[in-house]
Amino acid sequence: MDFTISIPQANAYQTTGLFHHLMQLPPRMEKLDVLCEIQENSISDRYFYTIQCKLKRRSQEREIRRAISEEIARYICTYFEENLIEDAIQKHYPQYYDREIEQIKVHTNRLFQKNTHTYFRTPYSKRSDRLGKPIFHFLRESKLLAIDGYVHFRLEHYRKALAKCVHDAVDQFLLDQEYQDFISLLKYFVSVQGSKIDLVHLMHRGVKQFELLDEQRKPLQLNDGGTLQEIVEHSFSHEDLIVSTLLTIAPEKIILHTKFPEENIIHTLSQIFESRIVKCNGCSSCGTVETLDL
């Protein structure tokens, strides 16, 4: 029983990858008690790989097709997926250029594991399993498989799944752009604003748990006569509140005390205030005992 897999010679990365995956078949076939050899031929502008399998019993045919389809599916996920993502971006969002396309591709890859589409709810191995099933059935009808043609004309469901991920990734990309524009505006505001107070201690003890202390480590009295902690208790947007409060009082230096440096608010404050904000390396007030990198 012979199967022939072909691919254009133009893309050396893809042709080398296909050869690597097909060469996994002989040892796999050996475990199935099947003798397997791979022959390579070059005709015109294509490579043809013939998979020659010698069956000892008819029941082995199904397992041979399964092994071949699984390797082809893994190969497509590894060597074609990125190009398909880029094609989807350029087709649906032609206004973006190279740098933006690369950022959208990063967002798309991040969405693979949590997207609701059936192809991307599960890890990579399961995604290739889904690709393997239609290839398995295709090889029952045809012993010749042109990889490029199959990807572009037979995997419509897979391509739609990728396009859905791209759409979601573009939404995230635009949100990130808006966020960065907002951060840039606030950084500019900080840079041109004169300081109204030399130093404050920002105590961060967890979600919605902030306190501003003055140089003597006493609660800082704000313009309305209250303290930050009192205002936070009646606020729905504590992150916006702490940012706007620090922008208003414009301290020359902010000493941050936190055991939760991974929280978004800490990252945001570090971006806005840059050199004005410094970390506490450990004190009795916050209980930190090691250096925290912001």
- Tell me the pLDDT tens digit for each residue of 180-238: 999 999 999 888 887 878 899 998 877 777 888 888 888 887 765 555 555 554 444 56
Cα distance between residue 21 and residue 24, in whole Å: 5
Both 24 and 65 in a single domain?
Answer: yes
In a domain, 211, yes or no: yes
175 and 202 within one domain: no
User: Is 160 part of a structural domain of the chain?
Assistant: yes
DSSP character for 274?
A: G
293: DSSP letter:
-
What dihedral angle (degrees, nearest 10) is formed by the CA atoms of 158, 160, 162, 166? 180
Residue in the block written with tokens 């505001």: 189
205/229 same-domain check: yes
Q: How many CB atoms lie within 10 A of CB 95?
A: 5
Please give the structure tokens belonging to residue 198.
């030399």
Rounded Cα gap, residues 206 and 227, in angstroms = 18
294 in a structural domain: no
Lowest-pLDDT range of 111-115, 119-123, 264-268, 282-286: 119-123
CA-to-CA dists, residue 246 to 234, 235, 254, angstroms: 18, 16, 9
Final residue before a domain boundary, out of 183, 205, 229: 183
Please report whether residue 287 resides in a domain.
Answer: no
What is the mean predicted confidence (pLDDT) over 148-167?
90
Lowest mean pLDDT segment, chosen from 123-137, 228-242, 270-284:
228-242
Residues 229, 168 share a domain: no
Q: What is the pLDDT of residues 250-271, one digit of tens each?
A: 899 999 998 888 888 889 999 9
pLDDT of residue 235: 46
Does 35 share its domain with 62? yes
Do 66 and 158 belong to one domain? yes
The percent of residues in the chain predicted with pLDDT above 70, rounded, is: 86
Largest pairwise CA distance in the chain: 90
Give phi and psi for 4, each to the nearest 5: -120, 125
Task: Give me the pLDDT at residue 229, please.
Answer: 53
Q: Are residues 162 and 73 in the same domain?
A: yes
Assess whether 104 and 215 both reside in one domain. Answer: no
Cα-only R_g, the chain: 29
Residues 35 and 148 in one domain: yes
Global pTM reads 0.71
What single letter denotes the amino acid at residue 191? S
Rounded Cα distance between 170 and 93, Å, is: 9
Q: How much is the average pLDDT of 131-158? A: 92
Identify the residue with better confidence: 277 or 240. Answer: 277
According to the model, what pLDDT value does residue 117 have? 56
Mean pLDDT of the region 117-144: 79
Assigned domain for 268 exists: yes
Helix (H) or strand (E) holding 246: helix 238-249
- Of 150, 183, 216, the position where a domain reaches its end is 183
In whole angstroms, give the CA distance from residue 229 to residue 226.
Answer: 8
Q: Residue 30: what pLDDT?
A: 92
Among residues 203, 207, 208, 212, which one has the least CA distance to residue 285? 203
Question: Considering 183, 206, 231, which residue would you say is the last residue of a domain?
Answer: 183
150, 138 in Cβ contact below 8 A? yes
Residue of 212, 201, 178, 208 lying closest to 255 (CA atoms):
201
Q: Which two tokens stand for residue 10?
A: 């133009």
Number of domains making up the chain = 2
Residue 249 falls within a domain, yes or no? yes
Q: 178 and 198: one domain?
A: no
Is residue 286 situated within a structural domain?
A: no
pLDDT of residue 262: 84
CA–CA distance, 211 with 102 (Å, rounded to integer): 40
Question: Which range of residues forms the domain containing residue 62?
Answer: 2-183
284 lies in a domain?
no
If asked whether residues 178 and 210 sit together in one domain, one would say no
What is the pLDDT at residue 1?
A: 85
Question: What is the mean pLDDT of the segment spanning 127-138?
Answer: 88
Residues 204 and 168 in one domain: no
Alpha carbon distance 161, 118 (integer Å)? 8
Is the confidence at residue 161, as pLDDT, over 80? yes
